[in-house]
Amino acid sequence: MSSRTNLIKFLLLGFSDVRELQILHFVVFLVIYLAALMGNLLIITAIALDDYLHTPMYFFLMNLSIIDLGSISVTIPKSMANSLINTRLISYLGCVTQVFLFLVFTAAALALLTVMAYNRYVNICQPLHYKRVINRRVCVQMASSAWITSIVYSALHTGNTFRLPFCQSSVISQFFCEISQLLKLACSDSYLSEVGLLAFLVFFGLNCFVFIIVSYVQIFQTVQRIPSEPGQRKAFSTCLPHLTVISLFLCTGIFEYLKPISSLMSNMDLMMFSMLWCLQ
């Protein structure tokens, strides 16, 4: 294949070449996918129908559920279908779509986790001003900004990747189309694309991370001043799950991306991205 025009299909990494294990993979991931689908749909339905849940916290939670639905639907069904019909093929257009949507949902998740940190900061540190600062209009604006930023971010990365000609190989060492693996297949020198990818990732992730850290430093200082110990425990307990998800999310991304692409191993990629998918 001499150019990306002629390269109309890619080969994805399979979980196994053994037919029995392929069927097992399909069944296990089908159960997990349906459980995640039902769980998130129930959350979205409950929040949409119950007026009592029309609060900023549940509004952002509903957005996270939508992101979760999208992220698992972008990669998992195709992987399950490939295992079921014993193939590894994905079309060029399908690969572009996977890259774009996966980046949209991943970036949106990080942006929304940052917004939720700000929401917790105002709720705990400025409770008297909470309803004035975090109102319905502000919530919609923050969520919209997170989605718009993620779409622009994804469009830049996707366009930067697929403008390159692919001629080395059609085999992607991942169970879905992923940018760092696609750069390995480029005919031309992908150094600038690699630098651009890392620069955008570091800028976006570092800004979110710093904002979250600053917010939680303020939150912990405020919690320490709460006179009752039960009140402190309650405040810490509401923050701990959010902090855990943020830490695992960022650590996974840093481990996966902030090292030379040539040093990545297929099995490690598979494990890390499976973990990243489970966190969303």
Mean pLDDT, rounded, for 34-41: 89
Mean pLDDT over each residue of the chain, to the nearest integer: 78
- Quick: pLDDT tens for 211-263: 888 888 888 888 887 777 777 777 777 677 667 767 766 666 665 555 554 44
Which domains are present in the chain? 9-279 (1.20.1070.10)
pLDDT of residue 250: 65
Average pLDDT over residues 202-212: 81
Going from the C-alpha of 62 to that of each of 156, 217, 279, the distances in angstroms are: 27, 26, 16
Burial class (CB in 10 A: 0-12, 13-18, 19+), 2: exposed
Q: How confident is the model at residue 100 (pLDDT cuts 50, 70, 90)?
A: very high
pLDDT of residue 8 exceeding 90: no
Beta strands in the chain (DSSP E): 9-11, 89-91
Residues 6+ apart with CB under 8 A from 17: none
pTM, two decimal places: 0.80
pLDDT for 96 beyond 80: yes
